[in-house]
Structure 1
Amino acid sequence: MYKNVFGFPIQFDEWNHQGSLPIYINSSYEFRTAYIGDKRCVMLTPTEELVTLPALKKQILKIQQIDNVPVVFALTRISNFRRKSFIENNISFMTEHQIFLPFIGTMLTNEKESQRITGKFVFSTQQLFLYYLYNNKKRLYISETKKVLPFSAMTLSRATNQLEATDLFVIAKDGVKKFIESKYTPYDLFQKIRVYLSNPVRKVGYINKKQVTEDMVFAGETALSEKTMLNPSRVTCYAISAKKIDQTLLCQELIDPNEQVRLELWAYDPKQFIDGHSADDISIVLSFNGRNDERIEEAIDELLERRLQK
């Protein structure tokens, strides 16, 4: 993770004393032996949220009773409050931008406390995530997204920052080229990020079959039945961007299923990531948010497994 500190190379090795630790400590970190210059230490990478300071100090003591060397916490980021607390209590830590290693010296750089996202993504961020997912590459260069997504530079920058705020992505540079990267598999990434994703459907109604246009694609149960073992609904369902239709054309009542189709108006263009004649798989899954139907849930599980666990 880190190549050098103060010019000293860092080398990693296994740390094989986990079996001597209580289970609650063993399961909370990934352990490695680290050699920083000529100093050996134990480096802990948290696998869950850090505990309170008093509990943390007890954990350090238990580790040092087994291996009496400095304990260093390798963190993605650290809040201003916890940084101050660690320094005051002589607890070593490292992030990509800040280092506090009192057993060899101290180096701190300014790092703004990141703002963790607490609500849903804006739809531009949701589209950026979908593009990353469908790109099938671990690393996505921002310059590529500019050619595909209909965003201004400012909108794209905000969407990138919002992805980073989830702690599920790393935003970095390869030379001068900025990129997005996640360490998770597509399936795990979707399960972790799903809480931030929204149902793209803004409004639903019915139109006459003769009013179907080329801007409309299959959606809802129609699309889901094409991709899974779900039996299709009698009424065909389409989706279209809410910006591409006169909403006064919508009828709120299904009068004749032989003459009408169901139409979903989406917050973004369902043709953006089109899959054949249907909207993209993940957006279709999200369009069922709030539906409590066992047969739909089974079909969604089938679709996600096929799409994300390839």
Structure 2
Amino acid sequence: MSTLQNFEDYLQKVLDIGVKASSWKEEKDLPIFLRDLYDFYEISLLGISCLLMIAKEDVVISPATVNKHFKYLQEKRTCLCIYVCRVVSSYDRLRLINYRVPFVVPNNQMYLPDLCLDLREHFRKIRKSRKILSPATQMVVIYALIHKNDQKFIPSELAKKLGYSAMTMTRALDELESIGIGEVFQKGRERFLHLMKDRRALWEQVKPFIRSPIKKNMMLRCKDTKKIKQLGVISGLTALSNYSMLNPPKRPVYAISKDDWKILKHSASIEKVFFPEDADIELEIWSYKPKLFVNKGMVDPFSLYLSLQGNKDERVEVALEKFMEQIKW
């Protein structure tokens, strides 16, 4: 049964109102992107002329995008516009209500504030938002910040570039959408994230949800630093000193992924030590791969900032802020 038929049956069941929808003749005059996302029908509901914008079967649209399209149509039409979709998560339902977008999810809810109707039945718990983004999702954010000319991010392509499965990248897009970062669309089997904001705005918006990539710090004595330089990337205060007037630390700092550490720790040329004065280098074990975003032999600027933002040394704080001001957004 189509979404339209479910909508008509739902009205009959809960309001005892029989409605018959008809195709909207002016649909052909709408922009193509709207016609690709919705089917449009006219109905009369409780004596009021209404325009239905029914999400197509193979399309998923974020509440923020629905709100933009709703406002666009309201400006073009004097009648009440109603968004109709087959399923909606409890989180997206609240977002639609906050936007005051009239909507109907057949057999779940009818929210029509202009008609003083708010009928709720049950909801499917689809996805849960997180307060802190997962390492994989943080990698997507860093990738988006670095590749500032890209606007559309597809899970299958991100998987190849970042070394994760397409399923993990799909979850990453869900996480970003759950905190209002960008908009996720679906066309057929393909899902993609579209970032509408500029990169500076993206950075400021996402900062509360991301954290230092460092999982562990350790001091190492090295007979030969060749292996470390091969697997690791210059990081920490060593990297910051290259970008600022800050003096470099006594021991160079390198970042390495968990997987590369598993290889390095079996090397006979290194030895873990407990006292800094006995060490030749400081090693950071990261939750994601620093080599993916290497910049002139050093870690990317955004991960560097996150790794040092907790440093209480005033000189480091000043150097870090000046460093971020130099970024070309």
User: TM (normalized to structure 2)?
Assistant: 0.62
Report the 3-state secondary structure (helix = DSSP H, G, I; strand = E; otherwise coil) of the residue aligned with 1:129. helix
Contact kept? 1:205, 1:264, Cα under 8 Å: yes
Report the 3-state secondary structure (helix = DSSP H, G, I; strand = E; otherwise coil) of the residue aligned with 1:171. strand
| 1:193, distance to aligned residue in structure 2 (A) | 1.0
What CA distance in whole angstroms lies between the structure 2 residues aligned with 1:95 and 1:281?
43
* 1:221-300 aligned within 5 A: 221-244=237-260, 245-246=264-265, 249-256=271-278, 260-300=280-320
Contact kept? 2:183, 2:195, Cα under 8 Å: yes
Residues 216-259 of structure 1, C-alpha deviation per residue, up to 9 Å, x if partnerless? 110001111112232222221111113223188322212257xx
What CA distance in whole angstroms lies between the structure 2 residues aligned with 1:239 and 1:164?
30
With CA pairs under 8 Å and 6+ residues apart, which has the higher RCO, 1 or 2?
A: 2
| 1:275, distance to aligned residue in structure 2 (A) | 0.6
Contact kept? 2:102, 2:113, Cα under 8 Å: no
Report the 3-state secondary structure (helix = DSSP H, G, I; strand = E; otherwise coil) of the residue aligned with 1:263. strand
| 1:129, distance to aligned residue in structure 2 (A) | 1.5
What is the aligned partner in structure 1 of residue 132 from structure 2? 120
**Residue 165 in structure 1 maps to residue 161 in structure 2:** no
| 1:175, distance to aligned residue in structure 2 (A) | 6.2
Distance 1:111 1:171, change over 3 A: farther
Percent identity, aligned pairs only, is 25
| 1:288, distance to aligned residue in structure 2 (A) | 1.3
What CA distance in whole angstroms lies between the structure 2 residues aligned with 1:285 and 1:138?
24
Contact kept? 1:169, 1:180, Cα under 8 Å: yes
What CA distance in whole angstroms lies between the structure 1 residues aligned with 2:124 and 2:255?
42
What CA distance in whole angstroms lies between the structure 1 residues aligned with 2:315 and 2:249?
12
Residues 16-50 of structure 1, C-alpha deviation per residue, up to 9 Å, x if partnerless? xxxxxxxxxxxxxx9x7943534499xxxxxxxxx
One-letter code aligned to 2:242: E
**Residue 79 in structure 1 maps to residue 85 in structure 2:** no
Q: 1:135 aligns with which of 131, 138, 147?
A: 147
Q: 2:213 aligns with which of 200, 223, 230?
A: 200
What CA distance in whole angstroms lies between the structure 2 residues aligned with 1:156 and 1:232?
37
Residues 201-222 of structure 1, C-alpha deviation per residue, up to 9 Å, x if partnerless? 1221222262442001100011
- In structure 1, the gaps of 5 or more residues are 11-29, 42-75
| 1:300, distance to aligned residue in structure 2 (A) | 2.0
Contact kept? 1:221, 1:233, Cα under 8 Å: yes
Report the 3-state secondary structure (helix = DSSP H, G, I; strand = E; otherwise coil) of the residue aligned with 1:292. coil
Distance 1:152 1:206, change over 3 A: same
Q: 1:183 aligns with which of 193, 196, 200?
A: 196
- In structure 2, the gaps of 5 or more residues are 1-32, 43-50, 54-67, 82-90
User: TM (normalized to structure 1)?
Assistant: 0.65
One-letter code aligned to 1:210: D
Where does structure 1 differ by over 4 angstroms across 4 or more consecutive aligned residues? 1-5, 7-10, 94-106, 110-116
Supply the RMSD in Å over aligned alpha carbons.
Answer: 3.9
What is the aligned partner in structure 2 of residue 303 from structure 1? 323
Contact kept? 2:155, 2:167, Cα under 8 Å: no
Matched residue pairs, number? Answer: 246
Distance 1:39 1:155, change over 3 A: closer
Report the 3-state secondary structure (helix = DSSP H, G, I; strand = E; otherwise coil) of the residue aligned with 1:148. helix
